[in-house]
Amino acid sequence: MISWLKLDVNILDDAKVKIIRSHPDGDKVFVLWVGLLCLAMKSPRPGIIEISDGLPYSPDDIAHLFDIEIKTVEMGIALFRKYKMVDVFDGNTIEIINFAKHQKLEEIEHRRELTRQRTIEYRKRLRSSDADVTRHSVTVTPTDIDIDKDLDKENTMADKPPKRTRKIFKIPTVEEITSYCQQRHNEIDPQYFHDYQQARDWILSNGKRMVDWQATIRTWEKNNIGGGNGSVKRVGTNPVLSESARQAAEINAEWERRKAVEAAGRA
C-alpha cells in the first residue's frame, strides 16, 4: 500500500476548490475532500472509499472519522457529486473520479517493477563477485549493510516473475458503440455510455483500467443499466445522497438570504 498522496501545490487556486470553500463550512468541506483522498489511497481498491473490499464507509462513519458534523459531510458529498469530483455506485459506495490517473498509480507500479528488476541484477552481480574471493578477504562495512537492507526493503517481491504486459485499451467511438448495441438489440444509449465512461477515464469500479468495453456493455445489459428510452435505468442514482443534495441546497439558500440581509443593512 502506498503511504503518501500526490497533491497539486496549486490546489487552493483550483476553481472547484475555491467555489466549495465559499460555501458555509467550506473549509471543513475542503478538509473532508483531502480526507477522502487519503481514504481512497489506503483503500484495498485505490479510488474507492471503503473500509474493506465491498464494505463502504457511510456518511456517519466519515463524520466520526474526521470529526465533522454529519450535515457538513452530506453537503460536501453533494457538492463533490455536483462538480463531478466523486461518483456513487451500489447505493452508497463513493469513488473518486480519475483517482488512478491523477495519482499516476500505473506509473508508480511500473517504476517499482523496474526497481525490482534492477535489484535482481544487482544481487546477481554480487553473487558473481563473491565467487571470486574468499570469505575472509571480504570487508563488510556499515554502508554495505545499509545498502543490503535498502535492497531487501524495496525488493520484497524480487523472486516473483515480472507481470505480463497489459493489453492496450483503445477507446471506442460512439459509432462503434452504436454498432455493437444494435447487434445486441439492447436499449443502451451509446452516447450516454460513452460520456459516462469518458468522465470516469474508462476506469472500472475496482480501480483498474477497462480492457474490454464490449464486456462492460454486456454487464450493463445484465444489470439493466444504460440510459435508454425504455425501462433501462441510469447509473449513479442514490436516494441518500439525493437527500444530501436537498439539504445542501437549503443551507446555500439560507446563506444567500443572510448575505442579502447584510447587504441591505449596509446600504
| Topology of the domain covering 11-103 | Arc Repressor Mutant, subunit A (1.10.10)
For residue 179, is pLDDT > 90?
A: yes
The cell for 112 is 517499482
Contact 119, 151 (CB under 8 A): yes
Q: What are the pLDDT digits (tens) for 39-55?
A: 888 887 888 888 887 88
| pLDDT at position 68 over 90 | yes
Q: pLDDT at residue 9 above 50? A: yes
Q: Note whether 79 and 251 are within 8 A (CB).
A: no
Q: What is d(CA 127, CA 253) in angstroms, rounded to the nearest whole number? A: 72
Most confident of 12-21, 46-55, 224-233: 12-21
Give this prediction's pTM: 0.42
- In contact, 116 and 163? CB cutoff 8 Å: no
| pLDDT tens digits along 69-109 | 999 999 999 999 999 999 888 878 999 988 877 776 666 66
Query: Contact, 20 vs 28, CB < 8 A?
Result: no
Q: What is d(CA 233, CA 93) in angstroms, rounded to the nearest whole number? A: 18
Q: In the structure, what pLDDT confidence band is assigned to residue 3 with cuts at 50, 70 and 90?
A: confident
